[in-house]
Amino acid sequence: MEGRTFPPGCAGQRQLTALAVLLALSAMLPEPSSAQEAGSAARGKTIFESRCVACHSLDSHRVGPALGTVFGRKAGKAPEFAYSRALRAASHVWDRDKLLAWLTNPEVVVPGQAMGYQVETAGDRLDVVTYLASFSKK
């Protein structure tokens, strides 16, 4: 199309105009990384309640440890929970990045751990972590 001119109203001119409008509008959208980094605690609560509560609670141990105080807690150290040997030996502290990695693939974070579940999509992981972070002491 380079070097060609289109008469007003023809299909080629309309396509170029539409493309120019789309490019202008896309420049006004927020950066994807800022939207991805924020997460939604409300959506995270829904995901937690539908996928995580079979094994976890916020305030009491179940098959998995209570997660209401997970942020800032040393891995494998919630009082009165019987962790796997691998998690008892872990030395990291749970923060946003470590929880995102854990929900992506727990076995990569702590080989030999006992959690046989991962959250498939990055957006869902971020929302769950944002929800859990909302309980951390400011």
Domain definitions of the chain by residue range: 37-133
Q: Span 27-44, mean pLDDT?
A: 66
Per-residue model confidence (pLDDT) at position 7: 61
The pLDDT of residue 68 is above 80: yes
Per-residue model confidence (pLDDT) at position 138: 54
Model pTM?
A: 0.72
CATH superfamily, domain 37-133, is Cytochrome c-like domain (1.10.760.10)
Instruction: Tokens for 108, please give them.
Output: 């990569």
Per-residue model confidence (pLDDT) at position 67: 97
Instruction: Tokens for 76, please give them.
Output: 């494998």
Sorted by sequence, the CB contacts under 8 Å of residue 57 that are 6+ apart come out as 66, 67, 68
Q: Span 72-98, mean pLDDT?
A: 97
Q: Span 35-58, mean pLDDT?
A: 90
The pLDDT of residue 38 is above 70: yes
